[in-house]
Amino acid sequence: MKFATKAIHVGQEPESAHGAVIPPIYMTSTYRQEAPGDDSEFSYTRANNPNFVALEKQLASLEDAKHATVFSSGLGTLTGLISMLSQGDHVVALDGVYGGTYRLFNSVFSRFGIEFITIPNASKENIEKALSTNPKWLFFETPTNPLLEVFDIEELAKAAKRHGVLTIVDNTFSSPYFQNPLKLGVDIVWHSTTKYIGGHSDIIGGVAMCNEDHFKKELDFARKAIGLNPSPFDTWLITRGVKTLALRMQQHEHNAIAVADFLEKHPLVKRVYYPGLTSHPSHAIAKKQMSGFGGMVSAEFNLSLEETKKLISSFKLFTLAESLGGVESLVSHPATMTHAAIPAIERKRIGITEGLVRFSVGIEDAEDLIHDLSEALKNIRR
Ligand code: PLP
């Protein structure tokens, strides 16, 4: 079965009691047991629920994974993953991960003796050096946020394997439609399903996927033991969203290419970051490992901080908001929003300037989106 078919049919068999084509929402906290100590699949919804299982089957099929475990959020998923580590362990990460990921490691789990070491420059030499310090994981996100740098997943997973290190990848920005890191040698892939997978900006959720049975067991245990479960209703909504993932991703990409092309030609734009542009430094790697370039575009405008703020507040269709991956277009200003906690000098070093703007390009009509950008830019210096 191909992606779009799996998205609609896997885990979505009509319900047996009444033949409902759409499986119901199992709004229950607990389940009747046949006998005391009955060890059936469902006993308490913190541990498991039929809606979790339906979504897990659906998502595992799309990521070509043997197993999936769904969680309350992307960061809930990461908490579940980190709970597999122990005091004294360290993780090596490539620069460019989501700010909340840094915060979870550095402000929470550092107090439990788990160290998170980021490598600012992912050269082969630096990675080899970092891997030889005996970390438990090599951890990265690709494309990165907000500069959309693409890392070579296969090469990195191979290097990690040589050192006996697990590779963990956040695949949120690509969605399983454009990139499948498990097929490239990664051990565990995870997503914030809040973004493209859910696709409608109306739920918070997460998922981790793997091929090893013992990881699945540990992740299910973490969900139950820590209380990282999603709600049955949210998982049902995510399942509904996933059915249109293929169509949505095609339109996100179509529109993102149009936006990136328009911005690249605009005189007020210094630089556009989009892996689909041949001018993007990671274009060749993106082409090798992704089947599409996604819906995220960043651009550095030749504008002052005040002008940039004015610009991003004046769009009619691009709503000023954090998050990404929904059907509606969003715009954000990394320097004052998602990356505000990073000192200004460090921000500048990594390329997050005051004129940098990130677009989550939605699935509206591309012409309307370009018109919105064009009108706002016309007015900016008047
Ligand atoms: N990973 C990425 C790439 C994200 O952008 C986010 C949130 O913005 C997360 C993980 C965290 O996900 P959640 O907000 O669902 O906890």
**pLDDT tens digits, 46-87:** 999 999 999 999 999 999 999 999 999 999 999 999 999 999
Residue by residue, DSSP assigns 125-159 as HHHHHHHTT--SEEEEESS-TTT-----HHHHHHH
* For residue 380, pLDDT beyond 90: no
Rounded Cα–Cα distance for residues 296 and 252 (Å): 8
Q: Which of 98-102, 153-157, 162-166, 227-231 has the lowest mean pLDDT?
A: 98-102
Rounded Cα–Cα distance for residues 259 and 79 (Å): 35
- Residue 382 is predicted with a pLDDT of 55
* For residue 343, pLDDT beyond 80: no
Rounded Cα–Cα distance for residues 116 and 109 (Å): 9
- Residue 353 is predicted with a pLDDT of 93
Q: If DSSP codes are grouped into helix, strand and coil, which group holds residue 191?
A: strand
Rounded Cα–Cα distance for residues 257 and 365 (Å): 13
Nearest CA to ligand 1 atom 2: 98
Nearest CA to ligand 1 atom 13: 74
Nearest CA to ligand 1 atom 15: 74
Catalytic residue numbers, as ranges? 46, 98, 170, 195
Rounded Cα–Cα distance for residues 357 and 8 (Å): 35
- Residue 340 is predicted with a pLDDT of 81
Average pLDDT of span 194-220: 98
Query: Residues 190, 168: contact at Cβ < 8 Å?
Result: yes
- Residue 4 is predicted with a pLDDT of 98
- CA–centroid distance, 185 to ligand 1, in Å, is 23
Q: Give Cα 157 to chain centroid, integer Å.
A: 18
Query: Dmax over Cα atoms in the chain, in whole Å?
Result: 76
What's the Rg (C-alpha) of the chain? 21
Average pLDDT of span 146-155: 96
- CA–centroid distance, 49 to ligand 1, in Å, is 23
In the structure, what pLDDT confidence band is assigned to residue 342 with cuts at 50, 70 and 90?
confident
Number of Cβ within a 10 Å radius of residue 335: 22
- CA–centroid distance, 232 to ligand 1, in Å, is 20
- CA–centroid distance, 333 to ligand 1, in Å, is 16
pTM: 0.97
Q: Which has more confidence, 144 or 350?
A: 144
- Residue 38 is predicted with a pLDDT of 81
* Average pLDDT across the chain, whole number: 96
Measured from the CA of 322, which atom of ligand 1 is nearest? Answer: 8
Ligand 1 probe mutation, 72, 98, 169, most atoms within 8 A of CB: 98
Contacts of 120 (CB under 8 A, 6+ apart): 95, 350
Each residue of 112-126: pLDDT tens digit?
999 999 998 889 999
Measured from the CA of 172, which atom of ligand 1 is nearest? Answer: 3
Average pLDDT of span 166-195: 98
Nearest CA to ligand 1 atom 11: 74
- Residue 37 is predicted with a pLDDT of 83
> Which residues form the pocket of ligand 1, taking CB atoms under 6 Å from any ligand atom?
73-75, 98, 100, 141, 145, 170, 172-173, 192, 194, 204, 206, 323
Average pLDDT of span 181-208: 98
Average pLDDT of span 320-339: 94
Ligand 1 probe mutation, 139, 151, 179, 195, most atoms within 8 A of CB: 195
Nearest CA to ligand 1 atom 5: 98
Measured from the CA of 101, which atom of ligand 1 is nearest? Answer: 10
Measured from the CA of 193, which atom of ligand 1 is nearest? Answer: 15
Q: Closest by alpha carbon to 174, among 324, 340, 342? A: 324
Query: Residues 68, 206: contact at Cβ < 8 Å?
Result: no
Q: Which residue has the tokens 């299982």?
A: 53
Ligand 1 probe mutation, 194, 201, 202, 322, most atoms within 8 A of CB: 194
**Over pLDDT 70: what percentage of the chain?**
99
Rounded Cα–Cα distance for residues 92 and 118 (Å): 6
- CA–centroid distance, 17 to ligand 1, in Å, is 37
* For residue 246, pLDDT beyond 80: yes
* For residue 345, pLDDT beyond 90: no
Q: Which of 32-41, 49-58, 193-202 has the lowest mean pLDDT?
A: 32-41
Query: Residues 207, 90: contact at Cβ < 8 Å?
Result: no
- CA–centroid distance, 170 to ligand 1, in Å, is 9
- Residue 120 is predicted with a pLDDT of 84
- CA–centroid distance, 75 to ligand 1, in Å, is 7
Rounded Cα–Cα distance for residues 242 and 95 (Å): 29
**Over pLDDT 90: what percentage of the chain?**
90
Ordered by where they begin, the domains of the chain are 3-242 (3.40.640.10), 245-379 (3.90.1150.10)
Would you state the structure tokens that stand for residue 24, as one six-digit string?
Answer: 């119901």
